[in-house]
Amino acid sequence: MYGPGDIVAVMVGVAVEGPYSYRVPANMSVTRGTVVGVPLGPRLTLGVVWGKPNDEIGHNRMRNIDFSFDVPPLSEELLRLVEWVARYTLAAPGQVLRGVLRSPEALDAPKPVVAYRRTGMEPEKLTPARLRVLDTLTDDMPWPKAALVGASGVSTSVLDGLERAGALEKLEIPAPPVVFPPDPDAAPSALNPEQQAALDRILGLDPKRFGVALLDGVTGGGKTEVFFEAVADTLRAGRQALILLPEIALTNTFIDRFTRRFGTKPAEWHSDMTPVQRAKVWRGVLDGTVRAVVGARSALFLPFRELGLLVLDEEHDGAYKQSEGFTYHARDMAIVRAQFSEARVVLSSATPSVESRNNANTGRYAHVRLESRFAEAAMPDITALDMRTDGPEKGSWIAPSLAREVFAALDRGEQALLFLNRRGYAPLTLCNACGHQYKCPDCSAWMVEHRFRGVLMCHHCGHETRTPKHCGECGEVDSLVPVGPGIERVAEEAAIRFPDARRVLLSTDMGSHAQLRERFAEVERGEYDLIIGTQLVSKGHHFEKLSVVGVLDADLGLAHGDPRAAERTFQILTQVAGRAGRASRHGKAFLQTYHPDHPVMKAMVSGDREAFYAQEILARKAGGMPPFGRLAALIVSASVHDHAINFSRTLLSAAPMADGVKLLGPADAPVSMIRGRYRVRLLAQSARDFDLSGYVRFWLSSAEKPKGDLKIQIDIDPMSFM
């Protein structure tokens, strides 16, 4: 506790190196974790009391804390997380703290709501509407106005009338909680023996200690059912639970499942929420009224004070990496947070990351498996279609043998899915007359045609132009041709081949989150026969009638020269193939590939995922790649190419010598220009047990600072190498 006159360190939510000192004014007491408002320059800003300042010498220009918020202090564990994440990712602690204080509205006391209560006096005139209101208010309990209007089906003027007549009393009551506490015993699933064994192993982790379980189970094995029981166990123990999902804005089924299991909705946390909803959840998490949250990666920074379990569903998913602002990986940071809060972690996936698999192999994580699908469902049969011999005719994208299988599925009244992980109509547009290729003016990338919207679009910066009618270079009319397929082009072919099927195109361009959610619900209800989609459809959905999956370009991800290309391709193919036959039907998946002998395709076809992981782990070990080595990327950018290259060279020459650190580059990034800025990459590689963040911090602090429009972006543990 600090009282009037004490000098304290306050971390402000601004990208500065460390906390500033402030004096505690009269009539205020604060403690480490108290959220305060402090003057910073000419304005007030949010901050958090961090403790004693390093140097406590007061001076007469030291400013007072302006006010403190009436909310519980942030937990020690959260403050340590902020410091840890900042140190590890090389972000300023204030920048990470801003991620914690994301909902400033939450700090003000919640507004009370208007409510009505019976006075006991009968009004002289009793209309049917008035009666309904009085019947609703059976006891002395006040009802919030909105609830009363809803329950009795009257207009608010009826309430006003009853109040004037003296029969109702208007009062203010505290706002109801944003969600009700989930009931761990509402509707538990009867687990099958394999699921029960998995749960027992997870619950075997000491509930009061840090521990991680990798729930490694086939798609449709019932992983969700199992981790729900771990959530229930946590709730019973009086601790809070956090479930992270990679793409929560689109997964309505998950919220429904939670609601059925726990008898009430979970609190949600994602980008589609209004500031008011966010504020309620944030505050509820802090004051403990919210017991379970289902959220996107940023939910990791919510102010839990009693966190007992973190679940990461689809733990391998790339969406867990935040690549803007400070770059962090939610899986790694979840583990750190769990360590600080002595919590358990469940990492769930049918295709775990190589990192997590390795931790399970070495015994750092409990390796919990689910080998068979729930009930009657069987794993799909996977076939590679060799495009060199069995490919489609020129100008079409669906191989004849795949088309036959789709027909057969439709004939049986089942659903089929055509998958291509590329948005738009065609990835390249060129002029037949002069050979001109349409490129983004600001990026080193082709403009992708989106025919549905009638535009050419850059997928790196979002730049758009109307699709031209004549070549902008040579002026020739009707000479522009699309090259290669995007998902819209597949949909066009599907319309010709399967005209009678009820078709739906699912890609992020096809509508708002709400509209897409609606489409998914329709697919689940069986209102479509043929689903044509991108990555969006591969994640977590449960389409009961889906029995045939066709992947039109299984090689797509392998082309990237990135250390995780094989892993990612394996994951996405397994996930999308895993949509087939999730209920009792026998599923089949077909992979159109030019490389049927590639280890990824072989592992897919043989179903030998163990061989794939073993081989991938060996390759990573041999190359000193994660998780056996560490990587840090420095991306230097500038509007003039020479400036970026020259500065990268200067940086490189300033790199301190250290045993076991290898520096690679500078080299132009694969996407060498984005938004008019040239990008040059440096890569540092070290052994696992080396503090690479510390090394890079030391390096940058001793090197020349970027001037002019030069920028350095640091990415510790990079996931993307573009």
> Where does this chain bind ligand ADP (CB under 6 A)?
189-192, 195, 217, 219-225, 374, 542
In this complex, which beta carbon is closest to Zn ion, that of residue 115 or of residue 447? Answer: 447
Q: Which does 551 bind (CB under 5 to 8 A by kind): ligand ADP, Zn ion, none?
A: none
Please say whether the beta carbons of 307 and 239 come within 8 A.
yes
CB 671, min distance to Zn ion, A: 9
For the beta carbon of residue 266, count every other beta carbon within 10 angstroms: 24
Please say whether the beta carbons of 309 and 234 come within 8 A.
yes
In this complex, which beta carbon is closest to Zn ion, that of residue 463 or of residue 502? Answer: 463
In this complex, which beta carbon is closest to ligand ADP, that of residue 313 or of residue 449? Answer: 313
CB 429, min distance to Zn ion, A: 14
Q: Are strands 43-51 and 20-23 parallel, antiparallel or unpaired?
A: unpaired
Q: Which does 461 bind (CB under 5 to 8 A by kind): ligand ADP, Zn ion, none?
A: Zn ion
CB 542, min distance to ligand ADP, A: 5
**Residues, the chain, total?**
722
Structure tokens at 432: 């037949």
Binding site for Zn ion (CB under 5 A): 440, 442-443, 458, 460-461, 463
For the beta carbon of residue 525, count every other beta carbon within 10 angstroms: 11
Residues ≥6 apart with Cβ < 8 Å to 196 = none
For the beta carbon of residue 131, count every other beta carbon within 10 angstroms: 13
Q: Of 564, 659, 569, nearest to 620 (Cα)?
A: 564
CB 38, min distance to Zn ion, A: 41
CB 200, min distance to ligand ADP, A: 14
Q: Quote the CA–CA distance of 475 and 490 in Å, as a whole number.
A: 29
Q: Which does 463 bind (CB under 5 to 8 A by kind): Zn ion, ligand ADP, none?
A: Zn ion
In this complex, which beta carbon is closest to ligand ADP, that of residue 232 or of residue 501? Answer: 232
Q: Of 238, 237, 216, nearest to 227 (Cα)?
A: 216
ω into residue 666 within 30 of 0, thus cis? yes
Q: Quote the CA–CA distance of 701 and 656 in Å, as a whole number.
A: 11
In this complex, which beta carbon is closest to ligand ADP, that of residue 46 or of residue 536? Answer: 536
CB 313, min distance to ligand ADP, A: 8
Q: Which does 37 bind (CB under 5 to 8 A by kind): ligand ADP, Zn ion, none?
A: none
Q: Which does 211 bind (CB under 5 to 8 A by kind): Zn ion, ligand ADP, none?
A: none
In this complex, which beta carbon is closest to Zn ion, that of residue 509 or of residue 544? Answer: 509
- What is the rounded (10 degree) CA torsion for 471, 477, 483, 488? 110
CB 190, min distance to ligand ADP, A: 6
Query: Nearest to ligand ADP by Cβ — which residue?
Result: 222
Q: Which does 119 bind (CB under 5 to 8 A by kind): Zn ion, ligand ADP, none?
A: none
Residues ≥6 apart with Cβ < 8 Å to 411 = none
In this complex, which beta carbon is closest to Zn ion, that of residue 32 or of residue 422? Answer: 422
In this complex, which beta carbon is closest to Zn ion, that of residue 438 or of residue 590? Answer: 438
Q: Which does 222 bind (CB under 5 to 8 A by kind): ligand ADP, Zn ion, none?
A: ligand ADP
In this complex, which beta carbon is closest to ligand ADP, that of residue 311 or of residue 600? Answer: 311
CB 242, min distance to ligand ADP, A: 18
CB 224, min distance to ligand ADP, A: 3
DSSP for 168-183, please give it: EEEEEEPPPPSSPPP-
Q: Of 281, 192, 186, 198, nearest to 232 (Cα)?
A: 186
Q: Which does 191 bind (CB under 5 to 8 A by kind): Zn ion, ligand ADP, none?
A: ligand ADP
Phi, psi of 276 (to 5 degrees): -65, -45
For the beta carbon of residue 628, count every other beta carbon within 10 angstroms: 16
Q: Which does 460 bind (CB under 5 to 8 A by kind): Zn ion, ligand ADP, none?
A: Zn ion
Q: Of 553, 527, 551, nearest to 415 (Cα)?
A: 527
